[in-house]
Structure 1
Amino acid sequence: MRQIVLDTETTGIDPNEGHNIIEIGCVEMEKRRLTGRTYHQYVKPDREVEEEAISVHGITNEYLADKPKFSEVMEEFIEFIRGADLVIHNAAFDVGFIDKELERNGYPERIADICTVTDTLALAREKHPGQKNNLDALCRRYGIDNSHRELHGALLDSEILADVYLMLTGGQTSLVLAHEGEEGGMNQAGVIHRVQGDHWELAVPRASDEEMKEHETFLALLDKKSDGECVWLRDGSEGEEVH
């Protein structure tokens, strides 16, 4: 399945009050792996960015002054996402803005005509009822490194959301067991880092002693996060731990 993890930044919170999209960020996944294909575009709005919004994403009116209008990038953007399942956190917000921009610019289709949508906020609320489920809270919950996220940004947030989505849906994130300190591995704090696409096909015929130790550390982390329910640490007979 082709999926596009998407995020936008805007001039304000309500498209029906004339607010515009000012940044679009997308990362592509196929078969639950990042392909390396992205779409990223800043957009010049029809109105000024509100100060409150600037404090969130840091994108100023001056920075956007020479950027293309939505009408100029609309076709390219639609072509990138067409036919995919869009993975969005609080999808109603982003889809509402995109649909309003399409309407303003006379485009005949809406997101529902072009893509399916998966809302990770709805997934998170179902899985973690009564808890904070914003992106920062989910990163803390799943041990995903977002220390470089000082301000919101559409492309950065979509990259982080890809990791969150994979953890939310119970699959392995794009990580490998690497030597301590290597990019894409697990550091001493147990923080998960994303790996680049050229690592995914790396074959390791036999794990080294160090890799086995890191594997055991990872399983211990899973066991802790699942309240002792990590099946790989049990032999399946009487719930006894595997030694």
Structure 2
Amino acid sequence: MIQYLQLHKSFEKPVLDGVDLEVREGEMFGVFGPSGTGKSVLLKTTIGLIEPDYGNVRVDGDRVYGSGRAVLRRVRQKVGYVFQNAALFDSLNVWENVEMGIPESLLRKLSRKERTARIWDALDLVNLSPVDVIPKAPSELSGGMRKRVGIARAVVGRPRILLWDEPTTGLDPVNTAAIERLIKRLSEELRVTSVIVTHDIEGGLLMCDRVAMLEGGRLRFCGTPEGFRRSDDPVVRAFAEREAAEAALDHMEIA
């Protein structure tokens, strides 16, 4: 379980303004909202990548802030993070990029053979051929393949929680649908808790058990996909209709 407790964060202006949110164990939870409303910041607070000005995060009962480095390390070991645009290291090949997802404490205990098996399994899980991609640099891969390598890096450590930061950004509708099917399959097969920040509302509604919408740094909606679709909140409805229109335009441009 992940609990976001009265989170506040400001840069030049408030980005998170008292967000209270609970993600249940084993569920797929989507986070929507206009650009700049704190979605990615919320995700990063989960593992201490961005520290809130006020409030805290609990992961399986552990307080992420104020509990010391050992607790933070324990939290991070159970979380896999899929960064926006994959965030692969250009100077490393696919093998080396995926290997970085294995926690250091575990990496020291694994033999070369065991590391190889983990990396191959992770690439297989995301439908990439290890033989073909392992020696390649990120620059030699397509956008969709880079996304999959980033996902392999997130799952290679066998986490209990997966955090997805705009996993389909920059992809065409065909690849977007393929990555969303992969997210749902992995979440179910690996039996993990998933939090998915996404701009693709329809995809998020199809994937997730529950969804939330942030607006102006505050929680505007939290509930089921059906509840989101039927919401009579004018802000929620206007956002959903605007995003649906933009998605339809994108599909027309691709066609």
TM-score strictly above 0.5: no
Q: Which has the higher contact order (CA 8 A, sep 6+)?
A: 2
TM-score by length of 1: 0.30
Of Structure 1 and Structure 2, the greater strand share is in 2
